Structure 1
Amino acid sequence: MVIVLVLLLGLGGVGLAQWYLWRRLVRDVSAPGGWYRRAGTVLAVVLPLLSVGALVGGRLLPLDVERWFAWPGFLWLALMLYLVLALVVGEAVRPLLMRWPRRPDGVPDGVPDGAADGAPGAASDAAGRTAPDGAAADPGRRLLVARSVAVAAGGAAAMVVGTGMYGVLSGPALKQVTVPLARLPRRAHGYRIAVVSDIHLGPILGRAHTQRIVDTINRAQPDLIAIVGDLVDGTVPELGPAALPLAQLRSRDGAFFVTGNHEYFSGAAPWVEFVRELGVHPLENARTELPWFDLAGVNDIQGTAEGQGPDYAKALGDRDRGRTAVLLAHQPVTIHQTVRYGVDLQLSGHTHGGQLWPGNYLAELANPTVAGLERYGDTQLYVTRGAGAWGPPVRVGAPSDITIVTLASSAA
């Protein structure tokens, strides 16, 4: 019932946003019956339908068909967000534009001579209505202001979305973070882990995206590679070829993988076996003891519904607590369970750093840490913003990254 209510509220909000955009970008700037009004009205109906097709297509349509909905549908969601934000700013500017500049006689520039209605600063429209200073009653001025605000909002939204899309499609940046660990042996000082999450291979991001990520990691020459979930949005038959470059990953101690919530939407078990065939080691509620520390991984909490959720006791219950422990867990919300098991460092993703500003504020409501390094008791949590994007291939205020986490020993 709650899910249905949230869905209805979401659809209502999107519908209201679409109506607002149609009013400000179509109705207010065009004449009734004109080609622009007709075309804008059609787009106001078609674009939201494409967005719905993009959102549900992954579960109903083959990947090749889904792409036809994904590109326009997801991009419209991003454009819609920033068009609404830009137009809201425009609402504050609109009254100023209606009253500026003025002619020396006090009548707003744009009001034709003779429009003044006997009293200085008053004007009437064709119906004889008057308005203070003649500003609001001048249809020519209203149209000019409406078009100016619409063009400015459209340009700003297009620039923001275009820049954010370029950032995603050009590949993630390499980020460096040093994490001091009190129990880390001196001989492990400077150990480097490449942390990558939320690659989100799907109808938009494919094999070229994977190759960019693999090349970036290999150039960094890490000691170990950690893929912390949400690799794919689709099945192995559909997206297996897009993931093949993962077989090229190179590091001294190998590459490891834990599931994210999207793996369970796509079929987690086949993907676990597929990445194993590529030479990436899945950690399904399991632990491997490296010479310098214990590396453990737990399944994502989304797997609980399938009886495959996180099992901390299995992964960490019998370990030597005198050794340093690093845990791979997709969602940051598991940090409090991690603290209870005496883990030194948890590496997570999932949040995308909010992906689309101001989404970071919403992400903060659901996650203890949205991005970066924070301490919880004796445990530190590092959350990467991820290397891809879900939905719109756009990031604003939350650039994608691959993080090289360098472990530092207090004894060094």
Structure 2
Amino acid sequence: MRRGGLRGIATVVVIVAVYLGLNAFVGWNAIVWLDSWLPGYPAWALWIPLALAALGYLVGRLKFLPAPVGRGLKVFGAYYIGLFEYAVLLLPVADLVVWLCYANGAPYKMTVEATGFVVAVLLLACFAWGTWNAWTPIVRRYDIDVAKAAGGRRRLDIVLVSDLHLGNIVGNRHLDRLLPRVADIKPDLILLAGDVLDDVIEPFVRNKMGDKLGQLSAPLGVYAVLGNHEYYGGHIEEYVGRMAALGIPVLRDEWATPGGIVQVVGRKDKSAEAMDPEGRKPVAELLAGLDRALPIVLMDHQPYGYAVAAEAGVDILVSGHTHRGQFAPNHWITRRIFELDWGYLRKGKLHAVVSSGFGTWGPPVRLASRSEIVHLSVTFTGGA
């Protein structure tokens, strides 16, 4: 086996060991707290559901499980992801408080009970506030000037929606929140910047989400690109076909010129570099045949390569993927990974916009981010 392969295996082993160790830490704290409230509480009654929660998101994907069981485990595990992260952040502080109080003469049982109660309340508060943020989308507007003509148009309203993550958690109810808000904007063009699916296509088909999604309409059309989760799900051809049947082309290193006004370019997701036998085209090659006199809008799910896009002549680059970390303090991490992890950036003549996304991955919880629809109000200043 090559050294790189061994390094990869070692990395996975370390990650799994750390994850299991942290879950053991969470479980131990929970048992100590429960035992202070309910002496004699059987440990197995906590460890079994904790194990199912910790492994549910992965175990639920096993093919031999009955479909309802697999879906239930995935949903259970998805909710646990948020609980786990905040438990890992809060419990070391709680343990330190208990130790300091006990060292200074406070009764141990009372300190454990009180501290555990505070942690539980904080966890519930985080989930309540984060759930409201996730299910209450906002419209975020950016005003952009592009120094080009656009078939005689002086203004164009573009709606950007990314990261719907339609699946077992985000579904038709959330689409019902999307449709009226988009209709109120009266967009000329709608762009779906990847991760429309959470991964597998089965919930999308079973719950007929296409019937809702197909209600999106705009005079210049609705266009989509692939995200990493479409690649993870492995149903790309079926997904592209179903989207085409809804009147939504999925651009895979392709472009279109709706109304002769603007050139919409859809790039394959970065995942294609490893998961697509054909890979994906460099931006310069993808734009080689375009009319540089017309505005160029590029959809690329993951926000990388701004300097290259600016040099290639892209006017507007829209992305998603980051969720702005989805729940704090993850946004501190995404801010360091990406040149722009959320919001707007001007780089030369390039206008870059990254959406925090409309749906959610894992638990439907957002802290320090919001579920959003992006409204790009574009003014063309290059003459008729």
- In the TM superposition, residue 249 of structure 1 has moved relative to its aligned partner by 0.9
Write the distance in 1 (CA, Å) between the matches of 2:151 and 2:239: 37
Paired position in structure 1 for 2:10: 5
Structure 1 segment 10-409 matched on structure 2, within 5 A: 10-27=15-32, 30=35, 34-36=39-41, 38-39=42-43, 41-58=44-61, 60=63, 61=65, 63-91=67-95, 93-94=97-98, 97-98=101-102, 135-136=104-105, 141-168=107-134, 170-183=135-148, 185=150, 187-240=152-205, 241-266=208-233, 267-290=235-258, 291-304=260-273, 305-311=275-281, 312=283, 315-409=286-380
* Alpha-carbon distance in structure 2 between the residues aligned to 1:63 and 1:341: 47
Contact kept in structure 1, 2:327 and 2:368, CA below 8 Å: yes
Change (3 A) 1:377 1:5: farther
| Count of residue pairs brought into register by the alignment | 371
Consecutive unaligned residues of structure 2, counting only runs of 5 or more, are: none
Shift in Å at residue 374 of structure 1?
Answer: 1.1
Residues 237 and 24 from structure 1, CA distance in 2 versus in 1: closer, same or farther, beyond 3 angstroms?
A: closer
8 A contact 1:207–1:243 mirrored in 2: no
Per-residue deviation at 1:382? 0.5
- Is 1:210–1:243's contact at 8 Å kept on the other side of the alignment? no
Q: Distance in 1 between matches of 2:317 and 2:199?
A: 27
Residue 77 (structure 1) shift? 1.8
Unaligned runs of 5+ in 1: 99-130
Q: Deviations over 1:312-356 (max 9, x none)?
A: 355311112232211111110143432232101100001111112
- Partners in 2 of 1:316 and 1:172 — Cα distance? 34
Q: CA deviation at 1:376?
A: 3.0
Corresponding residue number in structure 2 for 1:125: none
C-alpha change, 1:376 and 1:213, in structure 2 (3 Å) is same
Maintained 8 Å contact 1:51/1:74: no
* Counterpart-to-counterpart distance in 1, 2:78 and 2:203: 20
Shift of 1:180: 2.3
Taking a change above 3 Å as real, the CA distance of residues 237 and 76 of structure 1, as seen in their structure-2 partners, is closer
User: Cα deviations across residues 209-228 of structure 1 (Å, max 9, x unaligned)?
Assistant: 23322232123211110001
Larger mean CA deviation between 258-267 and 356-365 belongs to 356-365
Deviations 1:283-338 (A, max 9, x none): 22112224332211111121233234332355311112232211111110143432
Q: Distance in 1 between matches of 2:203 and 2:256?
A: 31
Name the SS for the 1:333 alignment partner: coil
3-state SS of 2:369 partner: coil
Q: State the alpha-carbon separation in 1 of the partners of residues 23 and 344 from structure 2.
A: 38
What is the Cα deviation at residue 12 of structure 1?
Answer: 2.4
Q: Which amino acid in 1 is paired with 2:46?
A: L
Q: Which amino acid aligns with 1:201?
A: L
Asked if structure 2 preserves the Cα contact closer than 8 Å seen for 1:199 and 1:230, the reply is yes
TM-score normalised over the length of structure 1: 0.82
Deviation at 1:31, TM superposition (A): 5.5
Whether the 8 Å contact between 1:198 and 1:230 is mirrored in structure 2 is: yes
Identity of aligned residues (%): 26
Contact 1:184 1:408 in 2 (8 A): no
Amino acid in the other structure paired with 2:310: V
Distance in 2 (CA, whole Å) between partners of 1:245 and 1:155 is 37
Distance 1:189 1:145 in 2: 66
CA distance in 1, matches of 2:84, 2:59: 18
Aligned equivalents of 1:211, 1:405: Cα separation in 2: 21
Letter in 2 for 1:21: V
Task: Measure, in 1, the Cα distance between the counterparts of 2:100 and 2:37.
Answer: 27
